[in-house]
Amino acid sequence: RGIDVGAKQEIYKLMRDLSVEGKAIIMISSEMPELLGMSDRIVVLHGGRAVATLDKDEFDQATILRHASGMDVAPLTETEAS
């Protein structure tokens, strides 16, 4: 499914090179490790609308999934989770 590993690595290298040159890149992916590893900023969509724009220091898998699922609620603190 999708492109082979070698082609994917070539695409990643091209994206990194373009980014270093100051170019903006729009990447669309449903693969979370790919998104987390390649992105400086992520725009999360839900129901066809942008629901969050997160910079690298603001996003992790849980935050992205919370926005993407439409369950945009504050995460529980340790006290609330116990």
In a domain, 81, yes or no: no
Distances (CA, A) of 7 to 4, 40, 41: 5, 22, 24
Domain count, the chain: 1
Task: Tell me which residue of 19, 66, 51, 22 sits closest to 38, measured CA to CA.
Answer: 19
In a domain, 25, yes or no: yes
Q: What integer pLDDT is reported at residue 43 of this predicted model?
A: 94
More reliable by pLDDT, 30 or 56: 56
Q: What integer pLDDT is reported at residue 78 of this predicted model?
A: 62
Share of the chain above pLDDT 90, in %: 63
Domain membership of residue 50 as a residue range: 5-72
In the three-class reduction of DSSP (H, G, I as helix; E, B as strand; rest coil), residue 49 is classed as: strand
User: How much is the average pLDDT of 2-20?
Assistant: 91
Residue 70 pLDDT grade (very low, low, confident, very high; cuts 50, 70, 90): confident
Residue 53 is encoded by which pair of tokens?
A: 């724009």
